[in-house]
A and B are shown apart, each in its own frame.
Chain A
Amino acid sequence: MARLSMVEAINAALREKMAADDRVVILGEDVGVDGGVFRATVGLLDQFGPWRVIDTPLAENCIVGSAVGMAISGLRPVAEIQFEGFMFKGFDHIYSHASRMLRRSQGVYNVPLVVRAPYGAGVRALEHHSDAPEALFCHVPGLKVVIPSTPYDAKGLLISSIEDPDPVIFLEPKRLYRLFKEEVPDGEYRVPLGEARIVREGNDLSIITYGGMVSVCERAAQHLSEEGVDVEIVDLRTVWPFDAEAITSSVSKTGRATIVHEAPRSFGVGAEIAATIAERCLLSLLAPIKRVTGYDVIPPLAKLEEYNYPTADRVIRAVHETMQF
C-alpha cells in the first residue's frame, strides 16, 4: 500500500499489467524516453524495452490505427494520445474500425485496445488541451468510455480496461493527476467496468457525475450538508455503458436529480442520464432534473476558464433551486 496520485496510480497499473502479461504494449508520442508529457509512463521503457514502450512518430491517426492492428493480431495495446484535443486525428480508426472490427469480422477479430488520453479543463492549458469530448465516444456503438475520479479507481479501472476484450476509451482528468493522493494497493486489483460508486449517501437529492467533477460535487455536498441538505453522489466511473441501475435506485430514493459534467451541455452525457431517469423513474421525481455543465462553447483559455468549468458554487445553486421547487 502506498499513497499515490492519480498519475502515479496509472503508472502502477501499466507497470503491473505489462509485467503480468507480455501482450500489453504501450505506444504513443513521448511515452518512452520522456515517460509521457504527464509522466504516466515514466520508467516503463527502462523496464520493458523499446518494443513494448514505443515512441511513435507524431501521427495520432496511425497511433490508433496501428494499435487496432496490434489488437487484432493478439496484443493488448494501450495507445496514449497526448491530449484529448488530438484524439480526432485518430477518431476514424476508433469510429470506423476499433469499434466495428468484432462485428465486421462476425466475431473472428476482437479489438482489446485501450486509448488513454489526458482529458478536460481546470489546468489553465492551451487551446485543444482542455476539451471534454466523452459524449462523442459514448455515441459510437461498440465502445466503452471510462473516466476515473480517484487514484484508487484509476488503477483498478485501467487494469479492467486493459483486460477487457473490446475497445475502451480511457479519459484521465488532468486536473486530478496530482491534485491529491490516496492509499492505493500494490499489485493487481480490478474496479469492474459498468459499476458506479456511491461517493456519499444521502436522502434529499442525487448528484450524478464523474471524473473531475466528483471532487467539485463533494465540496458542494459538504457545504450543503452544513445547511441541512443531505446529498447523495453517484460517480459513474464507466460513463458508457453506464450503471443505469445505480442511477435509478438513487433517484428513486431521493426524488431529485442534479447531473454534473464539464462537457458541453447539449447532447451531452447528462442528456442520456436525464432520459434514463425519465424512462425508468419519472414518477419518483419531486422536481425537474437539473444539469450543471460546461456551456455549449469552445473551452475558453485561462482567463475565462472558471466561467465555463462547473464550480461548487454552481452546483450548490442548482441544488438550492431543485430543493426549493
Chain B
Amino acid sequence: MDVNKMKEMIGFMDPEGRVDEEVFKGIPEELIHRMYRLMIFTRLCNNKALSLQRQGRVGTLASVRGQEAANVGVGLAMEPGDWFLPSFREYGAQFARGVKAIDLFTYWSGDERGIKPPENSRVLPICITVGSHLCHAVGIAMQARIRDEKIAVLSSSGDGSTSQGDFHEALNFAAVYKLPVVFAIQNNGWAISVPFGKQTATETISQKAAAYDIDGARVDGNDVFAVYLTVKRLLDAARNDHRPALIELVTYRMDDHTTADDASRYRKREEVEAWIEKDPIDRLRKFLSRKYGWDEKKEEELQAALTQEVEETVAAFEAESPPEPTDIFNYMYSEEPWHIREQRDEVKRTVGESSR
C-alpha cells in the first residue's frame, strides 16, 4: 500500500486533447465515438431539463454539467452482468447502463414511474440519501461471493458521501470480506455549499483506501479515457481477484447543486470559469479532431441528431398520461395487505367525489 501513489492523479489526455498512443490503444475508435456521443447526449438532456424546469414543466433536478466524462467513463467501464448503484447526479452513467432518457424526464416531473430501472439491468434506482447505497453495494458484492458469481459491483457517489459512516462501514466490510466492489467517488468539489476542504482534512479521497488496505486510485475525472481505463482495470481486479477498490474522480459541478440552489452564495465565478476551461466534452472534441479529423460539419451533424433525439424524448414524455391517484398505493407490499386495500378504496371513492 503506497499512499503517495494513491494520491497521484492519473490522466491520459491533456487539456489540448493530446494522448500518448500507448495508453489508449486499448480503446477502439467505435467506443471513443460512443463516449463522445453519450457525453453530448447527457449534456443536451441535462440542459433541456434545466430549461423545462425554468418553464415549470419539470420539477427540481440536479445538473450534471461538467461531470459527463466521469459519468460516461464509469458507465461504459462496467460489464452487463455488473451491478450499478448510482447516486442522483449520474445521468451519463445511467444512460450507458440502459436507463432511458424519457424516464429521467418523467421522474423529474414528479412522476415515480420514471424511477423504475430497466428490468434485468442490474441498475438500482438512484440513491438520494447520501452514501447509503455504498452499504447496499457491499451486500450485492457479498451475494456474488456467496454464490461464487464472477461479477463486480460499482457504487457511485459524491465527495460528500465520504463523510458518512456508511462510507467507512462499506469500505471496511468490503476489505474484510474481499468483496468484488468498486466505490467510485465523483469528487466535484462541492457538497451543496460545503467545499471539499471542509468535507475532509485529507489531501485526497483516494488515500483513504490505505486505511482499509484496499486499492485506491485518483483520476482526472474530466479525462474520459483515464476514467474508463482505470475503472475498468479496478472492476476487472474486483471481478477476477476479489479486490475491492476506491477510486476518486476529480471533476467539477459547473451548475448549482440543484435548480433550488444558488451557488453564487458560496463560490466565486472565477472558480467556475476556470473549470469551464477544463470542460470534458471540449477536451474529447479536441482529441477527436486531432486524431480522427473530427470537423465542424461532423460536430454540427451530431449535435443536430442528438438534439432531435432529445426533442423527441421530451415530446414523448409530455404525451404521457398522468399517473392515477391510486398509484400511491402501488408497490407498498408485494401482496397488498388489508390496510392498504382499504386506503386505496378510500382514495378511489373520495377522488371521484372531490372532482365533482
What is the interface of chain A, defined by CB distance below 8 A to chain B?
25, 51-52, 54, 56-57, 59, 61-62, 64-75, 77, 92-93, 96-97, 101-110, 141-142, 144, 165-166, 194, 241, 244
Q: Is A62 within 8 A of B166, CB to CB?
A: yes
Nearest first, the 8 A-B pairs at minimum CB distance are A69-B139, A65-B135, A66-B139, A106-B116, A62-B169, A69-B136, A165-B334, A70-B139
Given A62-B169, A66-B173, A93-B132; A106-B139 close (CB under 8 Å): no
CA distance A104 to B132 in the complex (A): 14
CA distance A143 to B113 in the complex (A): 21
Among A57, A61, A105, A142, point to the contact of B176 (Cβ < 8 A): A57
* B140 CB within 8 Å of chain A: yes
Given A103-B331, A241-B337, A244-B338; A92-B139 close (CB under 8 Å): no
Would you mind naming 24 contact pairs between A and B with Cβ atoms under 8 Å apart? A56-B173, A59-B165, A61-B165, A61-B169, A62-B138, A62-B172, A65-B138, A69-B135, A69-B140, A69-B141, A71-B139, A92-B129, A93-B132, A96-B129, A97-B136, A103-B332, A104-B115, A106-B116, A107-B331, A108-B116, A108-B119, A141-B332, A241-B337, A244-B339
Nearest CB of chain A from residue B334's CB, rounded to whole Å: 4
CA distance A104 to B142 in the complex (A): 22
Residue of A nearest to B170 (CB): A62
Chain B 110-146 per-residue mask, 1 if CB under 8 angstroms from chain A, else 0: 0011011101000011000100101111111111111
Among B136, B166, B172, point to the contact of A57 (Cβ < 8 A): B172
Q: Is A106 within 8 A of B143, CB to CB?
A: no
Interface size of B by CB at 8 A reads 41
Q: Is B139 within 8 A of A105, CB to CB?
A: no
Q: Is A51 within 8 A of B145, CB to CB?
A: yes
Taking CB atoms, residues of chain B closer than 8 Å to A52 are 146
Q: Is B332 within 8 A of A70, CB to CB?
A: no
| Interface residue SS majority, chain A | mixed
Q: Is B143 within 8 A of A105, CB to CB?
A: no
Given A65-B132, A97-B132, A102-B333; A59-B173 close (CB under 8 Å): yes
| Interface residue SS majority, chain B | helix
Nearest CB of chain A from residue B82's CB, rounded to whole Å: 12
Given A51-B145, A102-B332, A106-B330; A69-B137 close (CB under 8 Å): yes
Total number of residue pairs linking A and B with CB closer than 8 Å: 133
Additional A-B contact list (19), CB under 8 Å, known A62-B173, A70-B143: A57-B176, A61-B169, A62-B138, A62-B169, A65-B169, A66-B135, A66-B170, A67-B139, A69-B140, A69-B143, A70-B139, A73-B143, A97-B129, A103-B331, A104-B112, A104-B125, A105-B124, A109-B117, A244-B339
Residue of A nearest to B115 (CB): A104
Q: Is B330 within 8 A of A103, CB to CB?
A: yes
CA distance A122 to B49 in the complex (A): 58
Q: Is A68 within 8 A of B334, CB to CB?
A: no
* B335 CB within 8 Å of chain A: yes
Residue of A nearest to B85 (CB): A69
Residue of B nearest to A67 (CB): B139
Nearest CB of chain A from residue B98's CB, rounded to whole Å: 13
